[in-house]
Chains A and B, each alone.
Chain A
């Protein structure tokens, strides 16, 4: 059964996956540091916004609201696993987002491109594996663990805190 909260989280995952796939194409297409023109700069800024939204407001909503509801229902294992993954993804995503903004303003040097490429590749893999787990576990579990009223309240919280 599709829940309001699940639909909102799924939509956020779609946006993140799209950004990560675009990042993957960008990294794959440039062996050496690329020129940053207006179009690339806009894409890098968009990537930065999407990543920050995912790891700051989205992770925060999950940890402060959704995971707490899961723990109350006794589902601690998946919460521990996903929280642990948040800890490894968050600094990586912030690093990539910061590098993207810096490159949008001043372009890449060989060193910053190398750093961006390594961090970006690791982020893509960790974040996609993480979303895979959330899509197949977390989202499906919401309908089992939250009744419709609790789901509606949770979705309202998401809209007010994440947007």
Chain B
């Protein structure tokens, strides 16, 4: 085992393309549905959102469960076994995971939006069952790996966070009808911290230690630096969770400060890779990565202000927006933009002939439209939340929906071009 082995064994461990792509397509559909649902809810509902059932909470979970976690699952099942050089598990388990999770999320968000407890319970249970299969597969894979600390330590923290956030999430759903939790708000914030920084955040940081060096052709992240930033991230998350769960602002503030330190250490760990890169020009998807990189610490700073006593209206809404839509959604769409054509290209020579060029698989216009609309949405909505303005918020939601539709067009076009390439390869084989 050795670091930087992402491509080694890649050919043998490439899953059938339908497996990761079903997660990616579902993520793209939920992405569009989320923005459309926020528009249907209207700017007033978004501005005043402080939790509770309804369209805004449903849209939020379309992003978190439907887009972010769905993408993470699709990417993990393909990238983790290649990175660790250990199989993830049987294909039927991955299919089962999808068929539990995707319909479960759909039923769950419908239940949240329409305030139907039965749908919330059924959908939540199915989604958690899917996540449990995912967590089990990932944990079994990680148990076989003795090195690659940059990936495995972060991923272990993501798995533990996943278990905790699922338990809290189910508790919150049941609490809507039973009202047994002593402090629903504190549990909801703890659930959000575990989901955003714990599960998704740790996966994003961990995978960035193998993906960024590969995409920029830079040196591998040294184990020592990866271990240090993973340790700092784990400590920050633990302190933040204790702080928000207990309602002790000073502890939550310390968690935010430690989180900023961890982000700095992670940036330092990757800086050597960036400096040593052979490809001097960054690929287009890095435009979104840079936006995400800026919004991660900005969200932590807003979280710090909240912990130190800033009013929840509007800062709690802004914190959640920067965390979910600002950092994570931006980062995930950046990676999807790169990974979807990358995997398609890897599969494209399976029938013989030249592999398809990435530039011919990935249309440029839709990603440019998505970038413009997504960043416009981030700026407009963040400003509207701070100022309490409805019309910029409405414009931001329209921009977000337009961007998501453009991104959907990108995904469909990648798949259409891949199929065209494969049909041509099959025809050439038939003739040859």
Chain A positions within 8 Å of B4 at CB level: 136, 139-140
Q: Tell me whether A75 is interfacial, beta carbon within 8 Å.
A: yes
Q: Which of B86-117 contact A (CB under 8 A)?
A: none
Assuming the contacts A17-B217, A140-B220, asked whether A128 and B2 have C-beta atoms less than 8 A apart, the reply is no
B residues contacting the other copy or chain, number (CB 8 A): 28
Residue of B whose beta carbon sits closest to that of A89: B354
Chain A positions within 8 Å of B280 at CB level: 21
Chain B positions within 8 Å of A132 at CB level: 7, 214-215, 217
In the assembled complex, the Cα of A133 lies from the Cα of B193 at a distance in Å of 36
Of the candidates A1, A13, A81, A88, the one whose C-beta lies within 8 Å of that of B10 is A81
**What is the 8 Å Cβ interface bit string for chain B, positions 1-20, against chain A (1 contact, 0 not)?**
11111111111100000000
Shortest CB-to-CB span from B341 to chain A, Å, is 11
Shortest CB-to-CB span from B361 to chain A, Å, is 11
Chain A interface residue number, banded: 20 to 34
Chain A interface main SS type: helix
Q: Tell me whether A94 is interfacial, beta carbon within 8 Å.
A: no
Shortest CB-to-CB span from A70 to chain B, Å, is 10
Q: Tell me whether A129 is interfacial, beta carbon within 8 Å.
A: yes
Q: Tell me whether A14 is interfacial, beta carbon within 8 Å.
A: yes
Chain B positions within 8 Å of A14 at CB level: 278
Q: Which of A104-131 contact B (CB under 8 A)?
A: 122, 125-126, 128-129, 131
Q: Tell me whether A144 is interfacial, beta carbon within 8 Å.
A: yes
Chain A positions within 8 Å of B1 at CB level: 144
Of the candidates A88, A134, A140, the one whose C-beta lies within 8 Å of that of B355 is A88
Assuming the contacts A1-B2, A13-B278, A140-B2, asked whether A80 and B11 have C-beta atoms less than 8 A apart, the reply is yes
Assuming the contacts A125-B357, A125-B359, A140-B3, asked whether A77 and B10 have C-beta atoms less than 8 A apart, the reply is yes
Q: Which of A6-28 contact B (CB under 8 A)?
A: 13-14, 17, 21, 24
Assuming the contacts A77-B11, A125-B359, asked whether A141 and B2 have C-beta atoms less than 8 A apart, the reply is yes
Chain A positions within 8 Å of B215 at CB level: 132
Chain A positions within 8 Å of B9 at CB level: 75, 77-78, 137
Q: Tell me whether A62 is interfacial, beta carbon within 8 Å.
A: no
In the assembled complex, the Cα of A133 lies from the Cα of B217 at a distance in Å of 9
Q: Tell me whether B358 is interfacial, beta carbon within 8 Å.
A: yes
Task: Establish whether residues B7 and A84, one from each chain, have CB atoms under 8 Å apart when the complex forms.
Answer: no
In the assembled complex, the Cα of A139 lies from the Cα of B214 at a distance in Å of 12
Q: Tell me whether A135 is interfacial, beta carbon within 8 Å.
A: yes
Chain B positions within 8 Å of A156 at CB level: none
Q: Which of B386-422 contact A (CB under 8 A)?
A: none
Shortest CB-to-CB span from B150 to chain A, Å, is 13
Of the candidates B5, B11, B357, the one whose C-beta lies within 8 Å of that of A122 is B357
Task: Establish whether residues A133 and B7, one from each chain, have CB atoms under 8 Å apart when the complex forms.
Answer: yes
Name 24 A/B residue pairs within 8 A (Cβ), A-sorted. Answer: A1-B2, A17-B217, A17-B279, A77-B9, A81-B10, A81-B11, A84-B355, A85-B349, A122-B357, A126-B355, A128-B279, A131-B217, A135-B278, A136-B214, A137-B6, A137-B8, A138-B7, A139-B4, A140-B2, A140-B3, A140-B4, A140-B220, A143-B2, A144-B1
Name B residues whose Cβ lies closer than 8 Å to a Cβ of A: 1-12, 213-215, 217, 220, 278-281, 345, 349, 354-355, 357-359
